[in-house]
Structure 1
Amino acid sequence: MTSRLEMHHYETIVAVSDTGSVTAAAGRLHVSQSAVSHRLAEAERRLGGRLFERRPSRGMQPTPAALALCQAAHRAMPDLARAERDFMRSAGGTTATVRIGIGSYDCYHWLAQFAATASEQLQNLMLELVVVGDSPVQRLADGTADLVLAPGQPRGACTAQHLFTDELVLITSPDHRLAERTWIGPESVGDEHYFTYNRQPAPGFEYERFIRPAGVSPRTITVLEQTGAIAEMVAAGFGVSILSRWAMSPWIEVERLAAVRCSRRGLDLEWSALTRLDTQLDAPERQVADAIVEWLGNGGNPSN
């Protein structure tokens, strides 16, 4: 029997099923929302029935008729990906592929410098960038990623290896009224249009530690799931945000953004390398994590 759907249809079905959102699925697949909607509509047309239904509390969920199809796609896609990587290793001399992502932030400005410095140490290892969003431990569990550099204190079944201490800072455009401050209190965001990348505040970040205890709230809030997009909107003067200084360093260093400390003491932010609990000490992803730690210890600057 010839399959009515193609690989990109199944990739889309898995992404929508995982995220519960066409918007989030588009971000994971690096395509437009309209492309995701078109793929779903085409798949439904080919199959002759609806694949998803929208539920107010849970987002896009598979219909009863489509549940088995979604589950089969979930099982098949990782197997196909592993088979592709095995073939690439055999054909190209690569001994292993490590899928690496950044939790919460889309920032890879440091990667080229690290890869160049550690090229001999990581010989025959191929780094593959993946999107993990705000659920790094879940992406490890479902096999999307092998290694995640994550801020804060990720919760769930994983092994965390400390990397470096960062800081959460208020970012503004250079000509914003708060840009010249040495530090700000939480009340300063009360009159601002605020950008954030997650719909639910993550524990251990600015809302829990800085904004909520003061009993204040930004005037308006916009959710943009890509932190690079937030940086561009803030640089253009459309609002402010509180984000990782390291993640925003490409904009801060060229003075497209100003960074202001949150409170006199600041808000420290720990970064860790996360791997699955069952990862062996000599596994390729642990080798990459150890190489990053060594690079940082020898003066490697993740802001560059």
Structure 2
Amino acid sequence: MAMDQSLIVFMTVAEKQNFTRAAEALHMTQPAVSQHIQALESSIGTKLLDRSNKHVRLNKAGEIVYRHGKEMEGLYTRMQRLVDDLMFTASGSLSIGASYTFGEYVLPHAIAYLQTHYPLIRPTITIGNTKDISALVAGGQLDIGIVEGELGLEKLHAESLAKDQMYVVTSSLHPIGTADDIDAARLQQETWIVREEGSGTREVTERMFLEQGLNPENRMVFGSTQIIKESVEAGLGVSLLSHWAVRKEIALGTISKLTVGGRPVERDFSLLTQLHQQHTKAAELFIAILREQKGWPEQA
């Protein structure tokens, strides 16, 4: 059983924005592509595409059909995989999304564990901010999402996986780099290197500033944790980062981590799945690996 061929052709045209490129991708002739589009438009009762000399664009009706077509595509794929799972083989594709800290510093270890024990499962990884990953899980484009922080979204089931502990990090050569704990007031004059708006790490940093009564004037905004780590190492400033992100540098002795007021700042790693979704065998196994924290890197 397969999805309606005319709908598949329409979605390809929408993605390629061009009849010729769509025909090439589908290994069809251009007139055949046009016939499928006409058949679909006739069936639905309205035009779905705005055609110009160079590009083909979706109109409002086309956008609705395309969005629902993508959801149907996800359902068909899941249906086939659930049928395949009746064979009790842990195989097939598994789409995983994660926000940056988890995706870059924890997920690779969990995937390595999965591949060692279940080599027939083929994972694909999407890294994005919490908002984007949540939307992809809700829309059925991802089987599983792992994000930092709590969020309430319809269509989503969220459960806490683990606590992420975050520390003020400095170069080990920084004047405060030899301390284990520091008074918040001492951090007011430091240059702070923070992530961009919309980042989970930035959100926790702002929360810490608020709780500790801090409002540092010297701030730099960098779009990746890796750049922040390099900059902290080079003595450019201080930051608040997850212990997962700096475990190697801590072990090497190039970065120091400090608590403020005697304890790290905590947030949750949350596991997201679609509400009322029947999981494939591959998804079930990987969720179990995540819950049991198998293959996760050791804490620094």
TM-score of the pair, normalised by structure 2: 0.64
* Offset at residue 186 of structure 1 (A): 3.0
Residue by residue, what CA displacement relative to the aligned partner does 1:267-304 show, whole Å, maximum 9, x if unpaired? 223323222222225653233111222344xx854549
Which residue of 90, 94, 113 maps to 1:98? 94
Letter in 2 for 1:171: V
Q: Report the Cα distance in structure 1 between the residues aligned to 2:107 and 2:248, rounded to whole angstroms.
A: 13
The 5 Å alignment of 1:180-199 reads: 180-199=178-197
- Matched pairs, number: 252
Change (3 A) 1:200 1:125: closer
Over aligned residues, Cα RMSD in angstroms? 4.2
Letter in 1 for 2:99: G
Report what 1:205 is aligned to. 204
TM-score of the pair, normalised by structure 1: 0.64
Which residue of 250, 270, 274 maps to 1:252? 250
Identity %: 17
Q: Report the Cα distance in structure 2 between the residues aligned to 1:2 and 1:274, rounded to whole angstroms.
A: 31
Q: Report the Cα distance in structure 1 between the residues aligned to 2:223 and 2:296, rounded to whole angstroms.
A: 29
Report what 2:41 is aligned to. none
Change (3 A) 1:164 1:7: same
Q: Report the Cα distance in structure 2 between the residues aligned to 1:277 and 1:245, rounded to whole angstroms.
A: 31
Q: Report the Cα distance in structure 2 between the residues aligned to 1:204 and 1:264, rounded to whole angstroms.
A: 21
Change (3 A) 1:159 1:123: farther
Does the CA-based 8 Å contact 2:105-2:244 persist in structure 1?
A: no
- SS of 1:105's partner is helix
Report what 2:121 is aligned to. 125
Which residue of 282, 285, 288 maps to 1:287? 285
Report what 2:221 is aligned to. 223
Report what 1:161 is aligned to. 159
Letter in 2 for 1:108: E
Letter in 2 for 1:207: E
Report what 1:138 is aligned to. 135
Does the CA-based 8 Å contact 1:151-1:272 persist in structure 2?
A: yes
Structure 1: runs of 5 or more not aligned: 11-43, 52-64
Change (3 A) 1:258 1:75: farther
Larger helix fraction of residues:
2
Letter in 2 for 1:149: I
- SS of 2:135's partner is helix
Q: Report the Cα distance in structure 2 between the residues aligned to 1:109 and 1:182, rounded to whole angstroms.
A: 23
* Offset at residue 147 of structure 1 (A): 1.6
Change (3 A) 1:215 1:137: same
Does the CA-based 8 Å contact 1:152-1:204 persist in structure 2?
A: no
* Offset at residue 212 of structure 1 (A): 1.0
Report what 1:56 is aligned to. none
Residue by residue, what CA displacement relative to the aligned partner does 1:43-65 show, whole Å, maximum 9, x if unpaired? x99449xx9xxxxxxxxxxxxx9
Report what 2:170 is aligned to. 172
Kindly indicate whether residue 107 of structure 2 is the aligned counterpart of residue 108 of structure 1: no
Greater Rg by CA: 2
